[in-house]
Structure 1
């Protein structure tokens, strides 16, 4: 892929549903499930920031044998991710899309942030929804789509730079 030709990465690991896979190829994880190579048809993703950003020219990326996360196929990673508190059914079989319920702004921290990011001390007292909203958990993109007040709270809690641009905000972690 041209997108990755100058980056210190090889590409994106295909965890997408077969319905959106490039060229109709069966993604590796679905292939492993079909062949009975995994104990359970689930995977766990633990993301951890190590070192600098590959998009920051001043970053120290020369870190051998330093791992930035773990993918666990066929089971739960209880070492890094802790116990599963609840399962949320997917609302779309095209993406890992699910409904987030938030009855009041005081519940927002536990209803949204912990499910996706497990960030400490991030909360927003300005957004509330009686109906909830749809969210997508996607390890193949750096995009985070959220209501402006939520995205701003995440950025502020992590010392990021925020830039307003039309109907969206851009958050830079450098």
Structure 2
């Protein structure tokens, strides 16, 4: 399935009903609901929103969300869409994979494969991390280094691999320190950096199950044009979410653009490999 890239999110098209009605949804490993807004696989339950408390969907490039997390994250007891695919033998293997294109000018924003993965879209071999809790796609981070020095999670911490999150998020105090370490400055609740400074900014490395996953400055910054002026935004933001083992980090699209990801329900693990440019 081709995935379309929006400003800072990725979405693709599904159809519901007979005759089919088409909806553009965000494929989200951080939730388990399937919902769309309005006025698949047989017997798939979904939610329809008829009123939103704010203008999120009015300004979004998608119509709803297709949750790909574990069933316990579905509060109403509905079977998530991927679990139905497995139960109905619609996938060759109980895995799915994401490639998120880094080029905003490419008409194809990426690729989502249900039942397999494409080795042409990454280099080297997949390295695996076990799922530590089966609701989100939660894994263990060994440490986070800035410029080669351990700065966060020195004794390990939990992280959620989330295709539905645009940025990399972490505890507020850690993210404030991260912004200082990369030289980001706050302006109207958003952290920006000088684009010309990216050549001297440090690499950020996430060590997961003993494997280092570095991000160069160009990978963890987002570039926008505002009235012909180029702006560079930090790819980190704060999100205070606790698990039984402490605060979460969220590895969103900023991380997943750099690393091809494979979500393996059969073995409860997540695989990463460097994504092709």
- The reply on whether 1:135 has 2:159 as its aligned counterpart is yes
Q: Is the 8 A contact 1:50 1:67 kept in 2?
A: no
The separation in 2 between residues aligned to 1:35 and 1:140, in whole angstroms, is 25
Which residue pairs with 2:120 in the alignment?
Answer: 79
Q: Which runs of 5+ in 2 are unaligned?
A: 1-36, 38-51, 183-201, 205-214, 222-231, 241-253, 255-277
| Higher helix content, 1 or 2 | 1
Identify which range, 28-37 or 18-27, moves more after superposition. 18-27
- 2:67 is matched with 14
CA contact (8 A) 2:141 2:153 kept: no
The alignment's C-alpha RMSD in Å is 3.6
Higher RCO (CA < 8 A, seq sep 6+): 2
CA distance in structure 2 between the partners assigned to 1:126 and 1:73 by the alignment: 36
Aligned length: 140
Q: Deviations over 1:140-170 (max 9, x none)?
A: 22242244366745698134334999998xx
Alignment of 1:25-174 (within 5 A): 25-51=78-104, 66-102=107-143, 108=145, 123-127=147-151, 129-146=153-170, 147-148=174-175, 152=182, 157-158=217-218, 159=221, 160-162=232-234
Distance, in Å, in 2 between the alignment partners of 1:84 and 1:39 is 21
**Structure with the bigger percentage of strand:** 2
SS in structure 2 opposite 1:13? strand
The 3 A distance-change label for structure 1 pair 142 and 47 is same
Q: Unmatched 5+ residue regions in structure 1?
A: 53-62, 110-122
Aligned residue in 2 for 1:112: none
Give the match's secondary structure for 2:97.
strand
Residue 92 of structure 1: CA displacement? 0.8
Distance in 1 (alpha carbons) for counterparts of 2:159 and 2:89? 30
Tell me by how many angstroms 1:46 deviates: 0.8
Which of the residues 49, 52, 58 maps onto 1:5?
Answer: 58
TM-score by length of 2: 0.42
Cα deviation for residue 10 of structure 1 reads 2.1
Describe the SS at the equivalent of 1:23: coil
With 31-40 and 8-17 compared, the bigger mean Cα shift is at 8-17
